[in-house]
Each structure stands twice: as C-alpha cells, then as structure tokens.
Amino acid sequence: MAIYADILISPSQRKDLANMLLTAKRLGFTYVAVTSVNKVPEVDVKGHSINGLKVVKRVIIDVEDKSEALSMIRKFRYKVQLISVKCNSLGLARFAARDRRVDILMLPESFQLKFADKSEVRLALQGNTAVEISLRELIHSKNLSKILALYQRICLFARKVGVPIIISSGASNVYEMRSPYDMLSLALLLDIPLHYAQHCVSTFPVEIIERNIKKLEEFGHG
C-alpha cells in the first residue's frame, strides 16, 4: 500500500490548521508538511498527530540574495524537517541546487525557461534536491500556458537526469486540498507517465522526509 505525502500546506489562518490536517488524513495522506515563508511554522508537530497522520515542518526561503539564503539555511536546518528555496533567479537556483541542505527547489511562474536545461537540472541531482510542482500554482496562475510550459520542460529534463519531481497541493485552506489521486492526475498535463507520477506524491517526498527525520534525530533535534 502506497504512503502518500502532501508536503505543502500553508494555512492562511492558523485556526484552519486542525481542519486541514483532519482533511489530509481523510484524503489518504500519511505525511503532511505545514509550511511557512522565511520562518518556522507555528505548529506543535507531536500535538497534531491525527490517527496516524504524521506532521512535519517546512520552511520556504524566499529571498533575492544568495548570502541571505545561506544565512537562512543555516538558521533553519535543525529546526524543520524540510527546507525549500524559491528560485527567484537563475543564480539562486544554481546556489540552492548545490547546497545539500536544501531539499526542494520551487520554480515560480516568472522563472526563466532557460533553466530547464540538462546541465542546470543535473545540479539538483548532485545535492539530492527535488523539483516541486504545486497544483495551487497552476490553479491560480494568470498565464496557465506559460507555467504549464515551464513545468513540462522542467519535468522532461528532471526525469532524464534522475532528479526527483514532487507534486504538492500548495493548499492555503481546506477547499484547496486535493487527494493523492487528484494530484496524480496533474501528471497527465505534464506528460508524466502514471507509474512515475505515483513516485511524485509517494516515494520521493516520503524518502526526503524520513531521511531528514533520521538526520535530525541523530543530531538530537528530532
């Protein structure tokens, strides 16, 4: 039986968190990552375990400067289970892909398409970094064709060089949450084979989470 993970939920209101976690469990997820931008999420991980649902913390580093990103990576690495960097520039993407402490690269709609080149995506492989596709980004995009083209191209080259692709909901409230099967259906828009898409919502995110939980425990931060 597959273990599913939605590694990007970010409640717009703190009071919505409990309902979102309960919904995640009902939708069939085992792991869910509560996420904040440039700060540690305000969630009691152990206190929000719901009938086997495992909650982890994730921070999105959203800055323009590489030195600021480095400072934040150092600050948050032992405080959260997942670190992601929003690639606001090609230089920042290259930096984040090389840093083994970064788990996930996030590519905003404004990102330059030329990043989707084998030599660039291969950098992510060197650092065990995954590329994330957010369903919410697609739903709320003002230029759907542009972001689809970006995601399709990134996914094509990521698969060729072996960089993991992760699909998440990006939900900010309970109405934006999606089941694992809804997230799998996104793969059809991105020309991802269904058998590979299964890994994008199961194997890849779960492996990253469990690897980092083990590391934090080893360093006494679990």
- The domain that holds 27 is classified in CATH as 3.20.20.140
User: What pLDDT is attached to residue 121?
Assistant: 54
Given pLDDT bands bounded at 50, 70 and 90, which one contains residue 122? low
Count the domains in the chain. Answer: 1
Region 145-152 average pLDDT = 84
* Domain assignment of residue 25, given as a range: 4-218
Q: Which long-range contacts (CB under 8 A, 24 or more apart) does 74-77 make?
A: 76/40, 77/101
Per residue in 6-63, pLDDT tens? Answer: 999 999 888 899 899 999 999 999 999 999 999 999 887 665 566 779 999 999 999 9
| Separation CA 144–CA 213 (nearest Å) | 36
Longest dimension (CA), the chain: 46
Q: What is the mean pLDDT of the chain?
A: 86
CB 70 within 8 A of CB 197: no
Contact of 17 with 33, CB cutoff 8 Å: no
- The CA angle 159-150-12, to the nearest 5 degrees, is 105
If one compares 107 and 169, the residue with the highest pLDDT of the two is: 169
- What confidence category does residue 116 fall into, taking pLDDT thresholds of 50, 70 and 90? very low
Helix, coil or strand: residue 156? helix
* Distance, CA of 174 to CA of 172 (rounded, Å): 7
Tell me the average pLDDT across 185-205: 90
Report the range out of 8-22, 70-84, 136-150, 177-191 with the highest average pLDDT: 70-84
What average pLDDT does range 204-221 have in this prediction? 89
Structure confidence at residue 222 (pLDDT): 59
